Amino acid sequence: MGFWSKTAKLITGNEPKTRLRRRKLTHRDLIRLESKIGAQLFGPVPAGHRREFFCLDDHTWIWYEEWTENGQHHEITTRYEVHPNGILKVQDGQPYAVVEGEELRNLAHATRLYHDRVAREIYQRDPISGQPLSTPA
Amino acid sequence: MPNTLSYNQDRAVPSGERFDSRYIFIENKQEFEPDGPKNAPIDGETAQTVVDSQRDIEARTALAKEVAVSYTPEVHHISEQKQYEQSVGHAAVRTAWFRQEQLTQHELELAG
Q: Tell me what the mean pLDDT of segment A8-12 comes to.
A: 45
Is the confidence at residue B87, as pLDDT, over 50? Answer: yes
Q: Quick one: pLDDT at residue B15?
A: 43
More confident: B36 or A64:
A64
Q: Sort B46 into a burial class: Cβ within 10 Å, 0-12 / 13-18 / 19+.
A: middle
Chain B hits for A131, CB-CB cut-off 8 Å, are none
Phi, psi of A77 (to 5 degrees): -110, 125
Calculate the dihedral angle through the C-alpha atoms of B22, B23, B25, B29, rounding to the nearest 10 degrees.
150
Give first-to-last CA distance, chain B, whole Å. Answer: 68
Q: Quick one: pLDDT at residue B64?
A: 67
Confirm if A56 and A31 have CB atoms less than 8 A apart.
yes
* ipTM surpassing 0.85: no
pTM: 0.61
* Count of alpha carbons within 13 angstroms of residue A119, beta-carbon side: 23
Is the confidence at residue B9, as pLDDT, over 50? Answer: no
Q: Quick one: pLDDT at residue A10?
A: 43
The string of pLDDT tens digits covering residues A95-130 is: 999 999 999 999 999 999 999 999 999 999 999 999
* Long-range contacts of residues A35-41, Cβ cutoff 8 Å, at least 24 apart: A37/A114, A37/A117, A37/A118, A37/A121, A37/A122, A38/A110, A38/A114, A38/A118, A41/A110, A41/A113, A41/A114
Among A84, A48, A67, A34, smallest CA distance to B88 is for: A84
Confirm if B71 and B5 have CB atoms less than 8 A apart.
yes
The string of pLDDT tens digits covering residues A35-85 is: 999 999 988 888 889 999 999 999 999 999 999 999 999 999 999 999 999
Q: Quick one: pLDDT at residue A24?
A: 81
Q: Tell me what the mean pLDDT of segment B86-98 comes to.
A: 96
Residues of A (75-134) whose Cβ lies below 8 Å from B: 80, 82, 86-87, 100, 104-105, 107-108, 111-112, 114-115, 118-119, 122-123, 125, 127, 130
Is the confidence at residue B35, as pLDDT, over 80? Answer: no
The string of pLDDT tens digits covering residues B70-82 is: 555 556 666 889 9
Q: Quick one: pLDDT at residue B12?
A: 43
Cβ-defined contact of B99 to A34 (cutoff 8 Å): yes
Give the one of A24, A55, A80 whose C-beta lies nearest to B95's C-beta. A55
Give the one of B83, B85, B96 whose C-beta lies nearest to A55's C-beta. B96
Chain B hits for A17, CB-CB cut-off 8 Å, are none
Q: Quick one: pLDDT at residue B13?
A: 40
> Would you list the DSSP string of B14-76?
-TT----THHHHHHTT----SSS-TTPPP-HHHHHHHHHHHHHHHHHHHHHHHHHHHHHHHHH
Sheet holding A60-69, edge to edge: A50-57, A60-69, A72-83, A86-91, A97-98
Give the one of B83, B88, B97 whose C-beta lies nearest to A111's C-beta. B88
Q: Quick one: pLDDT at residue B27?
A: 39
Cβ-defined contact of B97 to A112 (cutoff 8 Å): no
